[in-house]
Amino acid sequence: MVDYNPSQRNLVGIEHDRVTNVSSTDFPGYYPGEDHAWNLDKFKENFKIQISYLTDLSSSFDLLGVDASIANAFRRIMISEVPTLAIEYVYIENNTSIIQDEVLAHRLGLIPLKANPDYLRWFKKDDPDIEPTDYDTVVLHLSAKCTTNPSAAPGTTDPKVLYNNANVYASAIQFEPQGRQAEWFPDGITPANPDILIAKLRPGQEIDLTMHCILGIGQDHAKFSPVATASYRLLPTIDIIGPPLTGDLAQKFKTCFPKGVIAINSNGEAYVKDARKDTVSREVLRHPEFDGRVKLGRQRDHFIFTVESTGAMTPDEIFIKSVQLLKKKCQILRKFNLRT
């Protein structure tokens, strides 16, 4: 059942054998006998985004004041609906490596590409009469031939020294701009990680192929997904009940949680230093001496997001695009409702 107590309704209870207060109301944020009419000013007051860290490949941020349905919508859109550029067609002129053509094409398709998808249009794959253009298709080329290195020192056994192009990396992929693409992509289109190993060659082996890249979404194929992972968890809460925990009891209480969650002050009393680091293992609930002395929970409207990018775009770009896509969905739904 839903806990209608205003002081507890935003907390999910964590007990040793069950999780309580997990149900939501039929309409999130609405409770019987109370006025919960939509108020934009109140929403702005409660809604917050707090960034913990942000790099080119990963980020962690807190989303406060929204329902789980909204938070999960952002997560699902980031995974499966944010469009990116990926290799779709591989035209192989020559492949004498030990990797079969279809396996090689599959490996190439999974290489994340750094490119701004906003300049491109969707390519209509279902129409056989449509020819690729500079507006919907990006052309890449890969050519590598392994030869013996005549300057290698006698006795050398390292293939990287013995041969030229012994390893073919993603850095060997070359962008061939078509039409106005040189203007749209002045920095070129490159693999997100140039050190991805594509194939290993030996003298006499060669790879020569052309790749066509198009827009797509993760819902169609995982190679189009801009994220490696996109997940969230609810903020843990830890409340010490009753008299302070001191002495050996405080030390034992501290060891029941991950490092950095519980600390001991100058008076020898245990206190909650950073509940955010807790993994909610419920280890503390196994010990009878802490029965009734601690209350664990999670805050229902505080979501800790972790987003790891494949490198195709930065995590903040991915999240902003997910917000734009959700807004567009709402506009379409509103437009449809007005018509009906």
The band of 340, judged by pLDDT with boundaries at 50, 70 and 90, is low
> Which uninterrupted H or E stretch holds 191?
strand 190-191
The band of 272, judged by pLDDT with boundaries at 50, 70 and 90, is very high
User: Are 290 and 253 contacting, i.e. CB atoms less than 8 angstroms apart?
Assistant: yes
User: Are 185 and 177 contacting, i.e. CB atoms less than 8 angstroms apart?
Assistant: yes
Cα–Cα distances in Å, from 120 out to 1, 123, 137, 340?
49, 9, 8, 34
Q: For strand 113-114 and strand 84-95, is the pairing parallel, antiparallel, or unpaired?
A: unpaired
What is the pLDDT, as a whole number, of residue 5? 62
What is the pLDDT, as a whole number, of residue 86? 96
The band of 4, judged by pLDDT with boundaries at 50, 70 and 90, is low
pLDDT average, residue stretch 223-245: 95
Task: Reply yes or no on whether the pLDDT at 20 is more than 80.
Answer: yes
What is the pLDDT, as a whole number, of residue 3? 52
Q: For residue 168, give the nearest of 111, 88, 222, 221 by alpha carbon.
A: 111
pLDDT average, residue stretch 265-269: 93
> Token digits for 160?
């990287």
DSSP state of 307: E
What is the pLDDT, as a whole number, of residue 134? 93
DSSP state of 127: -
What is the pLDDT, as a whole number, of residue 225? 96
pLDDT average, residue stretch 211-239: 96
pLDDT tens profile 219-229 = 999 999 999 99
What is the pLDDT, as a whole number, of residue 26? 67
Q: Which residue has the higher pLDDT, 4 or 244?
A: 244
Find the radius of gyration of the CA atoms of the chain: 28
Cα–Cα distances in Å, from 75 out to 63, 69, 232, 303?
12, 10, 8, 11
pLDDT tens profile 178-206 = 999 999 999 999 999 999 999 999 999 99
What is the pLDDT, as a whole number, of residue 189? 95
**pTM of full prediction above 0.85:** yes
pLDDT tens profile 321-335 = 999 999 999 999 888
pLDDT average, residue stretch 45-62: 94
The sign of the CA dihedral 151, 156, 161, 166 is positive
Poorest-pLDDT segment among 16-30, 54-68, 137-151, 279-293: 16-30
